[in-house]
Chains A and B, each alone.
Chain A
Amino acid sequence: GNSVTQMEGPVTLSEEAFLTINCTYTATGYPSLFWYVQYPGEGLQLLLKATKADDKGSNKGFEATYRKETTSFHLEKGSVQVSDSAVYFCALPANQAGTALIFGKGTTLSVSS
């Protein structure tokens, strides 16, 4: 099956700093790739996705580019805010047959003002 490796945190930044959270994957074929965000005490929310190589997913100032050469899908944001403090999960389908996702271990981001 597929797998995902995500940089472990916590990541602590000051407001307006640049954010990168690394995510690499191994997969059969070229599955869609996802970033989910989980705010304290809440469920997961889809942050962005990319469905094919070289696609760039973006939402709320976050971006991630599907790079098949490096099998990576790193999450970036140019200027983080305190409200971005959350846990971020990289994910992809577990295999080609089904729709179940596998998640990275999650990266906790803490932004201070």
Chain B
Amino acid sequence: DAMVIQNPRYQVTQFGKPVTLSCSQTLNHNVMYWYQQKSSQAPKLLFHYYDKDFNNEADTPDNFQSRRPNTSFCFLDIRSPGLGDAAMYLCATSSGETQYFGPGTRLLVL
């Protein structure tokens, strides 16, 4: 089935050690999103791509970066993870108003 895939499902990193989360899609959608979701909170948009155009939310910390090398793949790079970055990271795609989410990557920072 066409879907949004996130790897890994669980990621453990050390304080300050760079980490990359991956997302791929088989839906061929032109928009991809990264959300951060902390425990018992709503997802918060970090940034999104419209094709190759990158759109950063105003309050997204500089510590978070993203790359989209092609339509299918999108990466979230956290340059120096802090304890406060521990969260679920959700990737989503859309070709209209409806968004389709991956299962998420849960990041633990030790």
Report yes or no: B45 in contact with A34, Cβ–Cβ below 8 A. no
Q: Contact size class for A? A: 20 to 34
Report yes or no: A43 in contact with B102, Cβ–Cβ below 8 A. yes
Interface residue A82 (Cβ < 8 Å from any Cβ of B): no
Interface residue B80 (Cβ < 8 Å from any Cβ of A): no
- C-alpha spacing A43/B102, complex, angstroms: 6
Report yes or no: B41 in contact with A105, Cβ–Cβ below 8 A. yes
Q: Contact size class for B? A: 20 to 34
Which of B62-70, B71-79, B93-101 touches A? B93-101
Report yes or no: B48 in contact with A100, Cβ–Cβ below 8 A. yes
Report yes or no: B98 in contact with A42, Cβ–Cβ below 8 A. no
Report yes or no: A32 in contact with B97, Cβ–Cβ below 8 A. yes
The answer to whether residues A99 and B43 also contact, given A32-B97, A43-B90, A43-B102 and a CB cut-off of 8 A, is no
Show 23 residue pairs from A and B whose CB-CB distance is below 8 angstroms, ordered by the A residue.
A31-B97, A34-B98, A42-B103, A43-B4, A43-B104, A44-B101, A45-B101, A46-B99, A51-B97, A89-B42, A93-B97, A98-B55, A99-B31, A99-B94, A99-B99, A100-B33, A100-B48, A103-B42, A103-B43, A105-B42, A106-B41, A106-B42, A108-B40
Q: What residues make up the interface of A, taking CB atoms closer than 8 Å to B?
A: 31-32, 34, 36, 41-46, 49, 51, 89, 93-94, 98-106, 108
